[in-house]
Homo-oligomer: A and B are copies of this chain.
Amino acid sequence: MTPPSLDDFRTLARERLPAGVFDYIDGGACDEITSRANRRDLDGIRLLPLCLRDVADLDLRTSLLGHSFGFPVGFSPTAFHRLVHESGEVSAARVAKALDIPMIVSSMSSVAMEDVARDSGNEHLWFQTYIFKDRALTKELIQRAEGSGYKAIVLTVGCPVTGRRYRNVRNRFALPADVVAANFARRNVVVHDNPIHSVGADLDPALTWSDVEWLRGQTALPVVLKGIMNPLDVPPALDLEVAALILSNHGGRQLDTTESTIRMLPEIAAAVGKRTGLLIDSGFRRGTDVLKAIALGADGVLLGRPVMWALAAGGERGVVDAVGLLVEELRIAMRIAGCRSIGEIRKNGSAVVRV
């Protein structure tokens, strides 16, 4: 039986994965207040369905970065898929292709980005990276992404250092020997609370907006910024004409007590206006969550942990099922709420969703 909800995939993953791996995926920073707030704040938003609107035919197609996808749902970058399934990032990339949704491949993938692209046959992948202290390495990663057909560069910001995740510290979590940061020459060996430290490629805390400008100059691909939370950071991003912003608190994994993304959405959406794309992640699990995000101004929603859970629970099939049930929940929510398309959710937003 397909698990009936994304949380059931989490339960399955908990049963199947070593505790340390489960916790690495599940954990948030410090007291995990933001992790919980992401869910609680979504649950707290109430809906007012509209009835009798001829919702026989739904149109879930969504345009992101100028490309039309099947649904307003995609995959956030998550590191080291081989922690939970031997096929690594290839499975999720295949599902993204099959379902026609965006997937952001992490620079910390456990399969090299070229192999992810080739083995999945997915020609619409986006590549996530950081600007490392070593700019040559950064540039090389981008060029490899371009070369292997990735369609966008997603720059994760707001991580000048990595968050404190005490579950990892308590578990003395370390990557198993056969799971490596496959895009990097020097690979993981170190035991650490955050695997990013293990690739010999240091994050650069000195980054400023001009480094984003530099990055934009290195690539013909559209550049997306992932990790915007403060409305003050929207104008400089718009000035740099980035292709989209991803409103994200990294699933509560970076700075604990950071505001939930859904609560910031109306204000961020107002600051963005129609000037660039706006995606959101952190805590999205239900069809109604997706409806709420779009009603409040997002173009689409990304999933982080659920992809890992689904992979752990059932590999490629698991991910198909997980996305399938989320989309099915979204269809039901749209029909009951009286919205036939992404555009109508947006138009009816303030009537259907009350914050």
Q: Contact residues of A with B, CB < 8 Å?
A: 1, 4-5, 30-31, 33, 37, 43, 45-56, 157-161, 163-164, 166, 169-170, 172, 204-209, 211-212, 227-233, 236, 254-260, 263-264, 286, 288, 329, 331-333, 335-337, 351-352, 354
Closest chain-B Cβ to A260's Cβ sits at a distance in Å of 8
Contact indicator A160/B208 (Cβ below 8 Å): no
Residue picked from A33, A49, A264, A331, most chain B C-beta under 10 Å: A49
Contact indicator A43/B257 (Cβ below 8 Å): yes
Provide the residues of chain B in CB contact with A256, threshold 8 Å. Answer: 286, 288
Contact indicator A230/B158 (Cβ below 8 Å): no
Q: What would be 24 A-B contacts, judged by CB atoms less than 8 Å apart?
A: A4-B166, A5-B30, A5-B166, A30-B329, A31-B286, A43-B257, A46-B259, A46-B263, A47-B257, A48-B230, A48-B258, A51-B228, A51-B230, A52-B207, A52-B209, A52-B233, A52-B236, A53-B208, A161-B336, A163-B332, A205-B335, A230-B351, A230-B352, A257-B288
Report, nearest first, the 8 A-B pairs whose CB atoms are least far apart: A56-B206, A46-B259, A255-B336, A48-B230, A51-B157, A51-B158, A4-B169, A160-B335
Contact indicator A50/B233 (Cβ below 8 Å): yes
The contact of A4 among B170, B231, B332, B337, by CB within 8 Å, is: B170
Provide the residues of chain B in CB contact with A333, threshold 8 Å. Answer: 255
Contact indicator A233/B51 (Cβ below 8 Å): yes
In the complex, the chain B residue whose C-beta lies closest to that of A288 is B257
Provide the residues of chain B in CB contact with A53, threshold 8 Å. Answer: 208
In the complex, the chain B residue whose C-beta lies closest to that of A209 is B52
| Identical copies in the complex | 4
Provide the residues of chain B in CB contact with A49, threshold 8 Å. Answer: 158, 229-230, 254-255, 258
Bound complex: CA A147 to CA B258 (Å): 47
In the complex, the chain B residue whose C-beta lies closest to that of A212 is B52
Contact indicator B230/A160 (Cβ below 8 Å): no
The contact of A264 among B48, B160, B260, by CB within 8 Å, is: B48
Bound complex: CA A354 to CA B230 (Å): 11
Closest chain-B Cβ to A101's Cβ sits at a distance in Å of 21
Bound complex: CA A22 to CA B345 (Å): 35
* Contacts A53-B208, A230-B352 known; 10 new A-B pairs at CB < 8 A: A33-B43, A47-B259, A50-B232, A52-B233, A54-B205, A55-B205, A55-B206, A56-B204, A56-B205, A257-B286
